Amino acid sequence: MDTVRTVVTGMGVVSPLGCDLEQYWHAVLSGESGVGLLTRFDTDGITSKIAAEVKDFDPLAFVDKKDARRMDLSEQYAIGASQLAIDHSGLDLTAIDPNRAGVIIGSGIGGITTFEKQHQTLLESGPGRVSPFFIPMMIIDMCAGMVAMRFGFRGPNYGTVSACASSSHAVLDAFRAIQRGEADIMITGGAEATITPTSYAGFCSARALSTRNDEPHRASRPFDKDRDGFVIGEGSAILILESLESAKKRGATIYAEIIGGGMTCDAYHMTAPLPDGDGARMAMHNAIKDGGLTPDDIEYINSHGTATLLGDPAETKAIKAIFGERAYKIPVNSTKSMIGHLLGAAGAIELITAILSLGAGRLHPTVNLDNPDPECDLDYVAHTARDYNFDVFLSNSFGFGGHNVSILGRRYNG
């Protein structure tokens, strides 16, 4: 079977640095931080008091008030980012076959905002006061379901759940659906809204979050020896994937081509990566092989780069293991240094960032990298953006449970 080429024709973000693609890209390129003191709830008794919150999202710009009340915040984010991606793609929804268009959207935790509110209602007012919309508002697949209903897409549709690799799995599944000829157009990516008291307390109890509360904008410090955990973020990132034939037929702007992906599992620990990064190495290896390339072809890596004590050295070791001495010549940056960790939406927004870098010939900085960890000695594009023309890139995502995903993309060359 001939392989169907798959291209990216639209992107949309709801992020801690804005809900407009240009605004987001300008902020990231400028090294701005979307991290600040947490405002959603009282942080008394919680060790970490910082987060990368979405600040300027208005759900009523995308849905009416009645529908918004029946959606979890994560679903509102997914609807918003999907609409922005559709608009960016220039798709004429009246001119496509809805049976050849699908939706796959990942989320690590899903409707936990709704879960907490409805549980409180149960405790305070009894079971009869729990909303009849509680279950559909909470379950993770409903982001994909509601987006499909919004746009009338009747092709492949489901949610992916693999912690912080969720949206990268979603993108790869959408890529495979087009490759297999099951769809011509896919809405894909991730959505997450987990800045809630219980969720936050759980991450704090696991000692996963930074406690640099006096300097929120300096708290996310990937690859720095003074890092003390990640900063939790939120939002949604959506891509429009199309078969090359579909994109060319309608004269779409093509922003990049997805050519491969790799998925592995550490099978090692609930939260810690393999110390030698071998699962991550295999994911990158498999992505490169899947795309028919060699390690020598890779020119840029958007890292998972969470600023955790174990994760950053493991990813660095994985990169060195696959690229050898050439690893020191490949720029590797971390978008999380500015927007925090969007958990189930992280992979998609970082893939979008890599594609924006490809188009602009510019790499955003890894901010707060003031004192590099001796174990993390690659070129992380510290402090300032860099002009850099490249054609082939990897985007890495790794999640609790040992999930590893690497996506291989390149400049579309006809």
CA dist., res. 395 & res. 404, Å (int): 11
Question: For 104, phi and psi rounded to 5 degrees?
Answer: -130, 115
**Measured distance CA(190)–CA(163) in Å, rounded:** 11
Task: List alpha helices for 311-387, DSSP H.
Answer: 311-323, 336-339, 346-360
164: annotated active-site residue: yes
- Active-site residue, selected from the candidate residues 88, 341, 364, 403: 341
From the candidates 19, 88, 143, 164, give the one annotated as an active-site residue. 164
d(CA 99, CA 108): 27
Annotated catalytic residue, options 88, 285, 304, 364: 304
Q: Tell the burial category of 387 from Cβ atoms under 10 Å away from its Cβ (0-12, 13-18, 19+).
A: exposed
The bridge status of strand 50-51 relative to strand 256-265 is unpaired
Which secondary structure element, helix H or strand E, spans residue 395, and what is its range? strand 392-399
Other CB atoms within 10 A of residue 119 CB: 13
Structure tokens at 412: 């579309």
User: Is 265 noted as a catalytic residue in this protein?
Assistant: no
Q: In angstroms, what CA-CA distances link 178 with 5, 144, 230, 233?
A: 8, 17, 34, 30
Taking each helix axis from N to C end, the angle separating 73-89 and 142-151, rounded to the nearest 10 degrees, works out to 40
List the one residue out of 346, 379, 384, 342 whose CA is nearest residue 362.
384
Known catalytic residues? 164, 304, 341
